[in-house]
A and B are shown apart, each in its own frame.
Chain A
Amino acid sequence: MSYRLQDRGRLIDRSDKITFTFDGKTLDGFAGDTLASALLANNQMLVGRSFKYHRPRGIVASGAEEPNALVNLGHGARMEPNQRATTTELFDGLTAVSQNRWPSLDHDIGAVNAHLSRFLPAGFYYKTFLYPRAFWKSVYEPFIRQSAGLGRAPEEKDADTYEHFNTHTDVLVIGGGVAGLTAAKAAADAGAKVLLFEQTAVWGGRSPVDGGIIDGLAASAWVDRTVAELEAMPNVTLRLRAMGAGVYDHGYVLGYERLTDHTPDKDGPRHRLWRIRAKQIVTATGAIERPLAFAGNDVPGVMLASAVRDFQENWGVVPGKRMVVATNNDDGYRTALLLNAAGVEVLRILDAREGGGGELMGEARNAGIRVDCGRGIGKVSGGKRVKHIQICMTNGTGGAMEEIACDGVAMSGGWSPAVHLWSHTGGKLLWDEAQAHFLPDFSRPPTGADGQAMVRTAGSTSGPMELAAVIQDARSAGADAANGAGFKAKTSKRPSVETATEAPMLPVWQMPGRADYHLKSKSWLDFQNDVKVTDVELAAREGFESVEHTKRYTTLGMATDQGKLSNINGLAVLANALGKPIPQVGTTTFRPPYTPISMGAIAGEARGEIFQPVRKTPIHGWLDAQGADWEPVGHWRRPYAIPQKGESVHDAVMREVTNTRENVGLLDASTLGKLLVKGPDAGRFLDMLYTNMMSNLKPRRCRYGLMCSENGFLTDDGVVARISQESWLCHTTTGGADRIHAHMEEWLQTEWWNWKVHVVNVTEQYAQIAVVGPKARTLLEALGGMDLSADALPFMAWADGKIAGIPVRVYRISFSGELSFEISVRAGQGLALWEKLMEAGKVYGVMPYGTEALHIMRAEKGFIMIGDETDGTVIPQDLGLDWAISKKKEDYIGKRAQARAHMMDPDRWKLVGLQTLDGSVLPDGAYAVGEGINANGQRITQGRVTSSYHSPTLGCGIAMGLVHRGPDRMGEVLEFPGTDEKTYRARIVSPVFYDPEGEKQNV
């Protein structure tokens, strides 16, 4: 049983008792506990079930590498699955629920999978669920979905807030252990601005538990002193609970700070994502202990040796009263010595090495602990906790030499540097035979924008595991980083370090070395994803030679812990099975984040109201108050329609069209782009940009123009007004303003940089109000101030003046076919003018109208809309717009492309009007079908609908479409199958349905 000791636990405050629940049971813990230590203190050894076989699982590790102890934390809007108990700080009222079990953790139906494990080998899903094909949808997929996934997805909207924070630093140090502190100090002493991150809530890393003497101080005292020194330096920022999640190119690093996970009642964001730009990065992320692969190594009570002593020293809990330590290196002895010192019975140290260990072995024997060399664990028995172990020869076949009863096992398979961050952006690795691990290849580091090393490792991340070497490595890493960031590192006195000398470790990838299939099939590599030694061997036999393929086939290292414990063991087994040296097999790719980060942190501030910018015109608020039905147009919101009380949106659209055609309507046209193009070469420039001629436009006149890309495709359209001899105002589509502005600047800056042209984007300087309808002039004249008669302001002219005392520019242009004035007014006065127009227009029946009425009216007139009639493959010639393409101009952007053979092809689809025979509305986007099928077995198509509406003016459906040789086929009837199983029949007609002579707009 696991329990709390009375005289250990440096991180807990026994005077501060707190309460939490696990699977509904109320339990006690202390301030300073993690959820894991508190569960162990309550003898809750069983914490979850494994993914595939639903095996009982206990806590294995003490930190971020923990694969088993994943729980659902919190409830309702604060529920989150897959939270690691070992990194979850306990708080009063914490609620945790175990995962992957039903109906309960103790009695789990899915555990039957464990008895079927022989039939659920690696690749089981790929092999089993293939046939019969018809079973996939109705049988296999529902079954797999039912059993897939750890934890449950939250159902409510997250109640917490999150944020990003950008910062720039000279040196970023990741990891606040002895190495990180040393490196930070060295860099800071050189004058560099230093940011130091530590993922846990305390400084010092492993050193306060592992011991050693630095500069005559116990490690923990040295840590306190160094932290105090760093805190006193103005150029150093220290952050706890902050993880280095990912290292990217050019010194960009994502950091993940957990602010209120441990104090949920506190105000402010829960997590903060740091977006750091560092000149130099030092990763002092330490090393991770490896498990040993022996049968039953997943039984609750079998833990990493380092975790056992962490739990004892930090939180005062131990997994058992009678412990066995199995190790292949000297570090395991530290656990045995500490357990023994705390009064826990250490039955045996099983040292896999024939010759045993170094100084620490002597200490253990002196302390009265029995050490057996050349021995290992053959098998652990027990279901939900350890009961017995069988002792075997390290290199035997597993025959039990002895069986002893115990209730806990501490295992140590050696240490692997946490090289993840080094590897994220291209740092290469070397295999170290002596320590049997990968370490950074310093000759091939991640490089920065200057081509020089950008990431350095410090301490055990670099390979050395002994304290003196760790500190020495960290000092030079810190100094190198400062130098790399442009500072001059000082030489300082090398600290004195006292630590035990160690004997070499012995790589052990399977215990015992010649274990039979039965034992190997119970020797776990990946605890979370249930990958055993036999699975990796099977993959090798089936031809998966690449470690990346083996990973995906067996799912080794693919769980939420990303193989922190399983990686090296797994690829060593693969290498053995393939008969290749380990470095030749290589590692899988390390990818960010180091441990999972919350979705909320990734989103940061971008949620709810500010998920995306919403652009609003000066009249937006007025329209909103009138109940506008909004639609997004780019980032703008435009009113689709403005329904009156009790009116449907469709009815509102019909009313708006009819009222505008019969009386007068107001449209907020402020979103249209307005680009001022000015300079001696402006005319010449616009002639290159537009397909038609703009240089010969007379001042005070307007002209409709088309813009194409260099590919020839129509990209924007709008009315151009010539303001003066050297300046033009170009209107663009709503979505086109920024794009066309950028397009103009691109040509001016990168191609015709000697041309004297300035472009100023004045889109938002002006609100623009379209006053449209037969009574438009009457309404404006009622407000007074300008002569807007046909003589004073003819169609396609503009004039400056005042209306209702407000300075305006009036463009006489029409997109509806009605008498129409577009009034441009400074944005700050846009709403005032709009309100005056509404007020004065009451007697004329003025009503605002929205974008759908606008669309219907333009479609009735056969005017195209960029984005409806065009889709990036349509040239102006396809739309019958040849009249707007100058034949005189030698060149314009897109001209050469439009002369390419397939652009001139008479077989292109071209614009026509479409009118259904029964007056119904064609489905937008529907295809006209022809005879026969194509090579893919699909119906031949000969056209498609690009715009389709019910026209209240004509009382029937009207549409435009692109049809194969359309204009040559007037009167033909085409068939358009709808998705509603109906076939629509429509006749090819002229796209101009209303007032073809333009009599209404020209009055």
Chain B
Amino acid sequence: MLILQCPYCGVMADETELSPGGEAHLTREGPGASDDAFHDYLFMRENPKGVHFERWRHAYGCGKWFHAARCTTTLQVFGTYKAQTTEPPKDIRDRITKARPGWTWRDYA
């Protein structure tokens, strides 16, 4: 049972109060995108063992989308942050580096 803190309302929300939204920080491809780029946008995901960035919505609460950085094996949560960003904030990445030196995810490390 994941328990994540919603960065908007501060509530420690139980997994059953949240709805999952898959991988975070995808860049939308629209008309004009090549077939390959659009294919990757629709279907290709990281599926890592370890550090991961995900989207969650506080569906049974304030209704806001947020991001969570967590470890998919131990479920350690490195932090949650607001969704209005295109990349993981530096303080979150620093915290991950402290807990998981040498981590990588996509182009982040």
Interface residues of A (CB under 8 A from B): 248-252, 277, 426, 447-451, 710-711, 742, 745-746, 749-751, 753, 890-891, 895-897, 899-901
A748 to chain B, nearest CB (A): 9
Cross-chain contact A749 with B83 (CB below 8 angstroms): yes
Q: How far is the CA of A896 from the CA of B42 in the complex (A)?
A: 11
* Chain A residues, Cβ within 8 Å of B75: 249-250, 449
Partner of B2, one of A249, A742, A745, A749: A249
Instruction: Give the interface residue-count category, chain B.
Output: 20 to 34
Q: How far is the CA of A447 from the CA of B55 in the complex (A)?
A: 23
* Chain B residues, Cβ within 8 Å of A900: 35, 38
Q: Does B40 sit within 8 A of A, measured CB to CB?
A: no
Q: Give 26 CB contacts A-B under 8 Å.
A: A248-B1, A249-B1, A249-B75, A250-B1, A250-B2, A250-B3, A250-B75, A277-B14, A449-B3, A450-B76, A451-B76, A451-B99, A710-B42, A711-B42, A742-B19, A742-B57, A742-B59, A746-B21, A746-B65, A750-B65, A891-B30, A895-B30, A895-B31, A896-B31, A897-B42, A901-B35
Q: How far is the CA of A753 from the CA of B84 in the complex (A)?
A: 7
With A447-B76, A751-B28, A900-B38 already in contact, the answer to whether A745 and B63 are too (CB < 8 A) is yes
Among residues of A, the one whose C-beta sits closest to the C-beta of B8 is A749
Q: How far is the CA of A895 from the CA of B38 in the complex (A)?
A: 11
* Chain A residues, Cβ within 8 Å of B63: 745
* Chain A residues, Cβ within 8 Å of B1: 248-250, 252, 277
Interface residues of B (CB under 8 A from A): 1-3, 14, 19, 21, 28-33, 35, 38, 42, 55, 57, 59, 63-65, 71, 74-77, 83-84, 99
Cross-chain contact A451 with B74 (CB below 8 angstroms): yes
* Chain B residues, Cβ within 8 Å of A711: 42
Among residues of B, the one whose C-beta sits closest to the C-beta of A753 is B84
Cross-chain contact A449 with B76 (CB below 8 angstroms): yes
Q: How far is the CA of A891 from the CA of B28 in the complex (A)?
A: 12
With A250-B2, A751-B28, A895-B31 already in contact, the answer to whether A447 and B74 are too (CB < 8 A) is yes
Main secondary structure of the interface of B (DSSP, over half): loop
Partner of A897, one of B38, B64, B65, B76: B38
* Chain A residues, Cβ within 8 Å of B21: 746, 750
Cross-chain contact B42 with A277 (CB below 8 angstroms): no
Among residues of B, the one whose C-beta sits closest to the C-beta of A249 is B75
Cross-chain contact A252 with B3 (CB below 8 angstroms): yes
* Chain B residues, Cβ within 8 Å of A891: 30-31
A997 to chain B, nearest CB (A): 36
Q: How far is the CA of A900 from the CA of B2 in the complex (A)?
A: 38
* Chain A residues, Cβ within 8 Å of B19: 742
* Chain B residues, Cβ within 8 Å of A750: 21, 55, 65, 83-84
* Chain B residues, Cβ within 8 Å of A710: 28, 42
* Chain B residues, Cβ within 8 Å of A751: 28
Among residues of B, the one whose C-beta sits closest to the C-beta of A452 is B76
Cross-chain contact B31 with A277 (CB below 8 angstroms): no
Among residues of A, the one whose C-beta sits closest to the C-beta of B2 is A250
Cross-chain contact A896 with B3 (CB below 8 angstroms): no
Cross-chain contact B57 with A896 (CB below 8 angstroms): no
Partner of B31, one of A251, A447, A899: A899
Cross-chain contact A449 with B77 (CB below 8 angstroms): yes
B50 to chain A, nearest CB (A): 13
Q: How far is the CA of A874 from the CA of B63 in the complex (A)?
A: 30
Q: How far is the CA of A449 from the CA of B95 in the complex (A)?
A: 13
10 shortest A-B CB distances, which residue pairs? Answer: A252-B1, A451-B76, A250-B3, A753-B84, A449-B77, A749-B65, A249-B75, A750-B83, A891-B30, A248-B1
Known: A277-B1, A749-B64, A901-B35. 16 other contacts (CB 8 A): A249-B75, A250-B2, A250-B75, A251-B3, A252-B1, A426-B74, A447-B76, A742-B57, A745-B65, A746-B57, A749-B83, A750-B65, A891-B30, A895-B30, A896-B30, A896-B31
Q: How far is the CA of A901 from the CA of B55 in the complex (A)?
A: 30
Q: How far is the CA of A628 from the CA of B28 in the complex (A)?
A: 47
* Chain A residues, Cβ within 8 Å of B74: 426, 447, 451
Q: How far is the CA of A891 from the CA of B29 in the complex (A)?
A: 11
* Chain B residues, Cβ within 8 Å of A746: 21, 57, 65
B24 to chain A, nearest CB (A): 9
Most buried by B among A742, A745, A891, A896: A896
B72 to chain A, nearest CB (A): 11
A508 to chain B, nearest CB (A): 38
* Chain B residues, Cβ within 8 Å of A450: 76-77
Among residues of A, the one whose C-beta sits closest to the C-beta of B83 is A750
Q: How far is the CA of A710 from the CA of B33 in the complex (A)?
A: 13
Q: How far is the CA of A969 from the CA of B64 in the complex (A)?
A: 49
* Chain B residues, Cβ within 8 Å of A745: 57, 63, 65
* Chain B residues, Cβ within 8 Å of A252: 1, 3
Q: How far is the CA of A749 from the CA of B63 in the complex (A)?
A: 10
